[in-house]
Amino acid sequence: MKQRRSEIFFYLALAVLIVASCGGGARRAEQAPKRAPLSPFEQDLDYVRKGQFTHVYVISRPDGASLTRDDIAYLKANAHPETNMWVVTDEGRRAIAGTNFDWTPENFAALGKRFIVEDYTGR
Q: What's the average pLDDT block by block, 10 residues per block, for the chain (123 residues)? A: 64 60 57 84 94 96 97 96 94 96 96 97 85
CATH topology assigned to domain 40-119: Alpha-Beta Plaits (3.30.70)
Task: Compute CA distances 110 → 21, 27, 76, whole Å.
Answer: 59, 54, 11
Domain boundaries, the chain: 1-34, 40-119
The predicted pLDDT at position 9 comes to: 62
The predicted pLDDT at position 122 comes to: 84
The predicted pLDDT at position 111 comes to: 97
CA distance 108 to 62: 15
Report which secondary-structure segment, H or E, holds 37. none
Q: Smallest Cα–Cα separation from 86: which of 75, 98, 74?
A: 98
The predicted pLDDT at position 8 comes to: 65
The predicted pLDDT at position 36 comes to: 87
**Residue 21 CB: number of other CB atoms within 10 A?**
9
